[in-house]
Structure 1
Amino acid sequence: MPHLVVLYTPNLEARTNLGFLCRSLADAMLGVMDEAGRQVFPTGGTRVLAFPAAHYAVADGKRDYAFMYLNLRMGAGRSDMVKKAAGDVLLHTVQRHFAPIFEQSLIGITVQVDESPGQVYDAKHSNIHPLFQTP
């Protein structure tokens, strides 16, 4: 963890480069620091996954509305300041990304940060993490 899952209306695909947005969001997450100036999210565990909705309805349906929902899920134990900083940087990144088309398109954006308290099972299997561990 952390995992950022992005759900969006497929009418956004023709309007912007969503692959570039995913990379920008991952880079923004990697830049989040804690109160001591340490990187909050491990490089090898940072993931951004984006999925278009197969079916959707937005508002009254009378216009070509678009919507994007970003849900950051992180493990428990981080301070409220870190959680807010993570949410703020994600919102700022997506706002900056959509700024060129925001004046021409009707887009709703929601960013939500969730913490996973009380996990009953959390297994990981990866050969990515060791690439970013310093000896």
Structure 2
Amino acid sequence: MPHVVVLYTADLDQDRDQDPAADMSGLCRRLADAMLGVRDEGGAPVFPTGGVRVFAYPAAHSAVADGSGDHGFVYIQLRMGRGRSPAVHQRTGEALSEAVRCHCAPLLARRHLGLTLQIDEGAEVFDAKLGNLHPLFTPAR
């Protein structure tokens, strides 16, 4: 259950045609790939391929800063299940931060943009997994 949700100001969609850095689908793929590259202390992948999900949603309505200019905002939240070490948390945060920095650098160079990345660990009170994605990425034995 490593799920990433990206919320962003809809004005970024208007920039998408002229600036690949405003391409939220591209950001989603970059974040997913960063998650798939994170390894634990033993070198094993931290996040199962079939469990990685990244979704981006434009805010239909927003107010950013003082409203005096072209201020965009991107909020990225990773929610993952408990049990991973502090070192894995750090590695994950660094990998996602680097992915965001690389993707958004051109956008940051030409306009004002707030970026927030948070990682939350959940204590699920109910957790049902009913899909059939994981078997696609589990090696046959």
Quote the sequence identity (%). Answer: 54
Aligned partner (choices 99, 104, 122) of residue 127 of structure 2: 122
**Structure 1 moving runs of 4+ over 6 Å:** none
The residue type equivalent to 1:128 in the other structure is L
Alignment-derived partner of residue 82 in structure 1: 88
The residue type equivalent to 1:58 in the other structure is V
**For residues 60-101 of structure 1, what are the alpha-carbon distances to aligned partners after superposition, in whole Å with 9 as ceiling and x for unaligned?**
000010000000000000001111111111111111111112
The secondary structure found in structure 1 opposite 2:96 is: helix
Deviation at 1:44, TM superposition (A): 0.2
User: Which one has the bigger helix percentage?
Assistant: 2
The secondary structure found in structure 2 opposite 1:14 is: helix
Long gaps (5+) in structure 1: none
Number of equivalent positions:
134
**For residues 1-34 of structure 1, what are the alpha-carbon distances to aligned partners after superposition, in whole Å with 9 as ceiling and x for unaligned?**
1000000001111322111111111011000000
Report the aligned-residue RMSD: 0.8
Long gaps (5+) in structure 2: 16-21
